C-alpha cells in the first residue's frame, strides 16, 4: 500500500507556505490524494513576516500572498491559526503538545522563523530603549500589541544597526504621514505619526559603508524622502574601494546625497558609521535625554571586524550623543525558551534549529516510525536573506521531504511496509485539540482569513487606502457576530 504523507508545518509565514505550495505541486499526481498538509500558527492571521514585518509602504513585497492563497485553495491544505504548539507538559491557550502532532503526522516541519530581537548587551529595555521589532509590530498591528513609541515627546531617535529594518523604521518615522495614508498603516499609527515631534534620526553602525547590510533600494528610498535631508558624510568615510556592484551603488548614492539639500528641511537623518555604543545614561532631573556614549571604531581589512579606534596615547576615542529614543535593530533569533516545541534541537550558539542538508533536523532517524522532522526558513538558517532566499530554502526542504517519503514508500505492497504513524480518525483529520478549538471558535481557518482580508480592504476602500487592519478582537467579532450565520 502507498504510505500517506501527512505533513504538519508549525509556522504560517512565507517559509511554511512556500514549502506547502512546492510540495503540493511536486507530489506525484497518481498518488495526489495520499497527501495532506496542515499549517499551524500561533497568530490568528497567516503569512507571518509578510503581514507583520514588511513595511506598509512596500506593498509589492506582499504580492507573494497570491501564491499562498493559491496553495490554500487546494483542498489538501488546511491552515489553523491561534494555535500554540508547545513542548509536552507546557500549558498554553489553544495549546497542542508536540506529542499530539507526532501521533498524527508522518512528517513535521518547524517553520517558526526568528521571533526574538537581538538586544545590545549594554542597552537593556527601557521606556526610551525600544527594540526595532516592537516598533515594526506597532505599525503593523501585530497581535503582541506592543506599546507605541513615545513620538510626541521625542525629537531625536538613535537606531543601532544598519540593516533594512533600521532604514524601514527610520523611513516610517521621517516620512510625511500624508504619503503613508494610502498604504496599509493602521489609523492609530497614522495619528501618532501626525503628532510626532521627531526631527532627526541617527542610524548607527560599528563598521563602514562597505559593510552596511541595507540594500541599495532601501537607501535610495531614504535619499528620496520629500522634505527630509541626509547630513553629508565626511569625505574620509566615503574614500574606500568597492569590491562588488552592490558596494559601488551604495557609495554612489552616499556621495550624491539626499534629493533634498541639507539645511533646507525640518527633518534630517544621518548615517553614523564607525560608531559602537559602549554605555548609556538614562534621563534624570538634570538631563531630560539619554546620553549614548559611542566608541569610535576601525575595521580590520582582513577580518572585516570592527575594533576600537585609539588616539595617539592608545586610549579609545569616544563621543557622546544626546538622544530621546534608542532603537536597537541588530537582527533576530529563534526563541530559545524551553517551552518552544523545538527546544531539544535548538543550537544555543547559532540561535536557531540545528539541521542537516535538506533541512532535516540533525537528530532525526529516518529509519524509525517517528515522524520525520525538518526545519525551514529562518528557523533553520537564522535571520538572514530576503523572501527569495526563504523561498529557495523552503523549496529545498520540500524536495527533501518528497525524497524521504519516496524512499520509505514501496512501489507495491510488501511485508515490511512502514506503518502509518497516524492516530486520528479519519486519517487526514487534525488532532483532537484542533477540533475542540474550532468548535469553540478559538481557532481560525484560511477561510476565516479570506473573509477578514476582504473586510479589511472594504473598510479602507472609501478613503482610497490599501486596507484597515483588524486586531483579533475585531476580527473575532466580525467573523462570529457578522460574517457567519448564528
- Binding-site sequence positions for NADP(+): 206-207, 218, 385
Residue ranges for the known binding site are 15, 49, 85, 206-207, 218, 378, 385
Would you say 343 and 331 are in contact if contact means Cβ atoms under 8 Å apart?
no
List all residues 6 or more positions away from 382 whose beta carbon is below 8 Å from its beta carbon: 114, 333, 334, 350, 351, 352
Whether the CB-CB separation of 267 and 228 falls below 8 Å is answered with yes
- Please name the residues in contact with 211: beta carbons below 8 A apart, sequence gap of 6 or more: 205, 299, 304
Partners of 156 in the β-ladder: 200
How are beta strands 107-110 and 5-10 bridged, if at all? parallel
Q: Show Cβ contacts of residue 79 under 8 Å, excluding neighbours closer than 6 positions.
A: 12, 38, 39, 41, 46, 72, 444, 445, 446, 449
35: left (phi over 0), alpha (psi -120 to 50) or beta: beta
CA torsion 192→196→198→204, rounded to 10°? Answer: 0
Which of 53, 45, 57, 50 lies closest to 466, judged by CA? Answer: 57
209 exposure class (CB count in 10 Å sphere: 0-12, 13-18, 19+): buried
Pick out the residues of the known binding site for FAD.
Answer: 15, 49, 85, 378
CA angle 197, 199, 202 (to 5 degrees): 125
| 107 beta partners | 7, 372
Amino acid at each position: 500500500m502507498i504510505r500517506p504523507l501527512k505533513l504538519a508545518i508549525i509556522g504560517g509565514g512565507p517559509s511554511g507556505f512556500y514549502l506547502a505550495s512546492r510540495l503540493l505541486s511536486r507530489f506525484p499526481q497518481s498518488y495526489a490524494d495520499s497527501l495532506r498538509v496542515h499549517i499551524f500558527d500561533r497568530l490568528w492571521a497567516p503569512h507571518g513576516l509578510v503581514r507583520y514585518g514588511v513595511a506598509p509602504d512596500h506593498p509589492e513585497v506582499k504580492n507573494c500572498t497570491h501564491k499562498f492563497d493559491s496553495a490554500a485553495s487546494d483542498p489538501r491544505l488546511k491552515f489553523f491559526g491561534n494555535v500554540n504548539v508547545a513542548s509536552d507538559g507546557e500549558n498554553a491557550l489553544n495549546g497542542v503538545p508536540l506529542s499530539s502532532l507526532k501521533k498524527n503526522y508522518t512528517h513535521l516541519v518547524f517553520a517558526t522563523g526568528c521571533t526574538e530581537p537581538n538586544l545590545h548587551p549594554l542597552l537593556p529595555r527601557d521606556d526610551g530603549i525600544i527594540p526595532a521589532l516592537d516598533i515594526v509590530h506597532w505599525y503593523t498591528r501585530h497581535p503582541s500589541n506592543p506599546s507605541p513609541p513615545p513620538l510626541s515627546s521625542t525629537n531625536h531617535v538613535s537606531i543601532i544597526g544598519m540593516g533594512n529594518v533600521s532604514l524601514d523604521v527610520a523611513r516610517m518615522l521621517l516620512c510625511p504621514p500624508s504619503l503613508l495614508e494610502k498604504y496599509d498603516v493602521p489609523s492609530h499609527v497614522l495619528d501618532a505619526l501626525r503628532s510626532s515631534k521627531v526631527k532627526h534620526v541617527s542610524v548607527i553602525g560599528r563598521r563602514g559603508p562597505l559593510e552596511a547590510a541595507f540594500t541599495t533600494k532601501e537607501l535610495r528610498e531614504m535619499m528620496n524622502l520629500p522634505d527630509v535631508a541626509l547630513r553629508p558624510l565626511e569625505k574620509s568615510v566615503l574614500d574606500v574601494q568597492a569590491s562588488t556592484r552592490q558596494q559601488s551603488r551604495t557609495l554612489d548614492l552616499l556621495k550624491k546625497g539626499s534629493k533634498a539639500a541639507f539645511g533646507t528641511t525640518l527633518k534630517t537623518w544621518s548615517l553614523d558609521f564607525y560608531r559602537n555604543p559602549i554605555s548609556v545614561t538614562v534621563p534624570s532631573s538634570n538631563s531630560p535625554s539619554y546620553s549614548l556614549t559611542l566608541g569610535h571604531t576601525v575595521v580590520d581589512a582582513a577580518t572585516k571586524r570592527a575594533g576600537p579606534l585609539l588616539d595617539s596615547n592608545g586610549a579609545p576615542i569616544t563621543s557622546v550623543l544626546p538622544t530621546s529614543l534608542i532603537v536597537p535593530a541588530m537582527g533576530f533569533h529563534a526563541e530559545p525558551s524551553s517551552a518552544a516545541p523545538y527546544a531539544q534541537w535548538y543550537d544555543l550558539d547559532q540561535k536557531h534549529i540545528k539541521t542537516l542538508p535538506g533541512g532535516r533536523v540533525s537528530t532525526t532517524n529516518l529509519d524509525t516510525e517517528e515522524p520525520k522532522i525538518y526545519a525551514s526558513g529562518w528557523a533553520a538558517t537564522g535571520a538572514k536573506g530576503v523572501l527569495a532566499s526563504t523561498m529557495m530554502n523552503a523549496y529545498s526542504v520540500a524536495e527533501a521531504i518528497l525524497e524521504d517519503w519516496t524512499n520509505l514508500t514501496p512501489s507495491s505492497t510488501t511485508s515490511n511496509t512502514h506503518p502509518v504513524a497516524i492516530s486520528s480518525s479519519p486519517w487526514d483529520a487534525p488532532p483532537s485539540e484542533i477540533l475542540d478549538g474550532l468548535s469553540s471558535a478559538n481557532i481560525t481557518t484560511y477561510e476565516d482569513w479570506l473573509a477578514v482580508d476582504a473586510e479589511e480592504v472594504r473598510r479602507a476602500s472609501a478613503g482610497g487606502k490599501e486596507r484597515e487592519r483588524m486586531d483579533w478582537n475585531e476580527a473575532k467579532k466580525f467573523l462570529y457576530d457578522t460574517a457567519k450565520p448564528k
